[in-house]
Amino acid sequence: MQDLPSTLTDNDLDRIKAAIKHRWPNQQASPKARTYLNQFYQCKRRGAKITAKVEGNYGTYTVTIDVREADVSSACSCYIGAGGYCHHCEALALAFLQGEHLFEEIPSQTLERVESMAELRAYLEQTTLASLLEALRRHGVTQKAFAESMGMSSRHLSSMKSSELRNRYHKELGVAKVACLWMLDHIARFGNG
Ligand SMILES: [Zn+2]
């Protein structure tokens, strides 16, 4: 994560491009990144976050670049991609600059408008476990207490949370998120007590 220039516009496309040029100022792809430039598939953009898949040396990697208010973060599920500085992230950044139209725009899904299982899934995909646990914490529910209520160790929950931020998805991730939503809804209706 790093600061961005303050001359950002409200337009998501422009924001992503400005952030990419700031984070990867060298517009020439490195030799390693170049081999991946045209290899991305399932290219999607939701707001100011782009996601794509690519076949790497050790399987399929999920690569993301996410531009928020004052920072840009990138992540890749490859073994060196935790900090977002691997050549797959660099390649995705440059691929977006070269072909933003290849990224399918996915509308944001708000929780209030979830009316079907497909919409629930879309909502869960765009909402991290970390953000849901943070919302619970603001209501006085610690991660440890929440994990125990599900019969899960806090360490396991932590592992699921940090794995998701590396684009690695635990099979129980969706269940944990739904449990968070249920708890938040319960607190909203009945309070925390
Ligand atoms: Zn990578």
Domain spans in the chain, listed from the N-terminal domain onward = 10-105, 111-190
CA separation for the pair 99, 96 (Å, rounded): 5
Dihedral of alpha carbons 130, 132, 137, 141, sign:
negative
- Upper half-sphere CA count for residue 101 (Cβ side, 13 Å): 0
Return the structure tokens found at 103. 């990224």
Confidence at residue 10, expressed as pLDDT on a 0 to 100 scale: 57
Distance CA 119, CA 132 (A): 17
Does residue 131 contact residue 184 with C-beta atoms inside 8 Å?
A: no
Structure tokens, 58:
């050790």
Question: pLDDT at position 81, please?
Answer: 78
Centre of ligand 1 to C-alpha 87, Å, is 6
Task: Name the nearest CA neighbour of 125 among 136, 113, 111, 137.
Answer: 111
Structure tokens at 96: 């977006």
CA of 88 to the centre of ligand 1 (A): 4
User: What's residue 8's pLDDT?
Assistant: 44
Nearest one of 19, 28, 17 to 1, comparing CA atoms: 19
- How far away, in angstroms, is 56 Cα from ligand 1 center? 8
- Which of helix, strand or coil describes residue 114? coil
Is 67 exposed, middle or buried (CB count within 10 Å of its CB: 0-12, 13-18, 19+)? buried
pLDDT along the chain (193 residues), means of 10: 49 92 88 95 95 95 90 91 87 95 92 93 94 96 95 96 94 96 94 72
How many angstroms is it from 114 CA to the middle of ligand 1? 33
140 CA distance to ligand 1 middle (Å): 36
- Find the 64 Cα to ligand 1 centroid distance in Å: 10
